Amino acid sequence: MMLKKLFVDNKYLICAGLSTFSLLFTSISVISISKSLKEVSTALEPMSIWANTQNDCITKTWRIDGKNTQGIPSKVWSCNGGGN
């Protein structure tokens, strides 16, 4: 009975406190996720640079040994050092 009265008398204060803790933990989670995403982004940067280089090469490759080889497999092969 006394606990119920305590809750009823202070329900707004209790809810405000819970909301504050919820916001605090959410902020900590967002900061943690942000740091993790930055680490992943940094780790993937070399792969992104390589992919851009490959795309550029494949887009510009039209002939190998004078033959018109517009097929993607031939372009990828050429851009990755294929051939003699």
Spell out the domain ranges in the chain.
13-79
Spell out the SS3 assignment of 27-65: HHHHHHHHHHHHHHHHHHHHHHHHHHHHHHHHHHCCEEC
**44 or 72, which is more confident:** 44
Q: pLDDT tens-digit profile of 40-57?
A: 888 999 999 999 998 888
- Give the confidence band of 24 by pLDDT, cuts at 50, 70, 90: very high
The per-residue pLDDT for 53 is: 92
pTM above 0.75, yes or no: no
- Whole-number average pLDDT of the chain: 84
Give the residue, 46 or 1, on which the prediction is more confident.
46
